[in-house]
């Protein structure tokens, strides 16, 4: 398993913060999610009508924590670089999600961002696995910039089955389940059908590395797309929400080097179920652990983006 709840629950400061925010006794269990087991008993949690999920996290608990903390002073630490930030709230939210999910699915495995940062191995096995980003857009969160999300993906037999992404400040719930469509607040999502790069709005993120060689490659990739006369290249500070914008048809393509499996898992299902393409930057099939991706509304657009890119090496999540 990639995470053990007792590891975080044993920290007095985090337990006290949890109690302060929730108004409960430290260590008491408040309900985070409603998840009913699927017909296989230990496999895919069930979904409701029109592809909407019985997996729900009430704003009164999980998202209230994030929205409240967004406006407050934060304790900020760094991970792999000065631009790779983490706060106590990231860790608290991850703790809450996994603690509650493990009560309902004790045999399931977990891959989660802050556990990985603490040294837990990220290995996707055939076992049912939850892949969690407790706060995507932590730099935004630190600066009170409101593009912040929670992302939860679920895989069985190393296949992504469904994803849930919640935009914490706009209260938009994006969901997708394999074979059942993608939705935002119950409205079906559909990607753009654009195939011409010169008519495309492209999204990306910078990634945590800021050494001169990496920055040169990042800027060169952006320059190549602009030379191809893309309408624009945007960075919003949250890869999961950028990918949701792609799924909703508000953008035509996305690429990044340096994102992680917890950034991709839920969004990949949502984009595919909205009719889009998610693949490796080489043009081959997506490798969830490769720390790189191209996504687009059409295969033609994805291929054009992939062909324009120079590779930035971030290693692999399952080798760190």
Could you give the residue numbers annotated as active site?
113, 133, 135-136, 138, 263
Question: CA–CA separation, 289 vs 315, rounded Å?
Answer: 9
Q: What are phi and psi of 193, to 5 degrees?
A: -100, 15
* Residue 237 neighbours by CB under 8 Å, 6+ apart: 137, 139, 140, 145, 147, 205
C-alpha dihedral sign at 135, 136, 139, 145: negative
Task: Using alpha carbons, list the distances in angstroms from residue 104 to 41, 154, 188, 217, 268.
Answer: 11, 14, 28, 45, 25
Let me know how many helices (H) and strands (E) the chain has, helices first. 10, 14
Question: CA–CA separation, 257 vs 205, rounded Å?
Answer: 8
Q: Are 186 and 174 in contact (CB under 8 A)?
A: no
């Amino acid at each position: 398993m990639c995470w053990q709840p007792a590891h975080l629950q044993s920290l007095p400061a985090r337990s006290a913060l949890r109690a302060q925010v929730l108004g409960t006794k430290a260590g008491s269990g408040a309900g985070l999610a409603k998840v009913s087991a699927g017909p296989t008993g230990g496999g895919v949690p069930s979904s409701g009508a029109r592809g909407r999920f019985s997996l729900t996290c009430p704003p009164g608990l999980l998202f209230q924590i994030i929205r409240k903390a967004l406006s407050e002073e934060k304790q900020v630490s760094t991970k792999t670089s000065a631009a790779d930030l983490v706060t106590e709230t990231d860790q608290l939210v991850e703790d809450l999600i996994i603690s509650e999910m493990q009560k309902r699915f004790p045999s399931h495995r977990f891959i989660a961002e802050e556990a990985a940062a603490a040294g837990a191995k990220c290995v996707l096995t055939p076992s049912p696995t939850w892949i969690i980003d407790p706060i995507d857009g932590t730099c935004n969160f630190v600066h009170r910039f409101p593009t912040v999300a929670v992302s939860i993906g679920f895989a069985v037999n190393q296949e992504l089955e469904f994803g849930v992404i919640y935009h914490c400040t706009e209260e938009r719930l994006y969901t997708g389940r394999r074979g059942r469509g993608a939705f935002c607040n119950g409205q079906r999502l559909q990607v753009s059908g654009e195939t011409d790069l010169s008519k495309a709005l492209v999204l990306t993120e910078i990634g945590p590395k800021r050494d001169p060689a990496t920055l040169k490659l990042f800027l060169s990739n952006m320059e190549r797309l602009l030379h191809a006369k893309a309408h624009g290249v945007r960075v919003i500070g949250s890869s999961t929400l950028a990918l949701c914008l792609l799924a909703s048809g508000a953008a035509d393509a996305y690429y990044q080097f340096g994102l992680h499996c917890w950034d991709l898992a839920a969004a990949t299902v949502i984009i595919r179920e909205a009719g889009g393409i998610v693949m490796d930057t080489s043009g081959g099939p997506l490798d969830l652990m490769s720390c790189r991706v191209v996504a687009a509304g059409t295969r033609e657009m994805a291929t054009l983006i992939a062909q324009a890119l120079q590779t930035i090496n971030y290693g692999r999540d399952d080798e760190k």
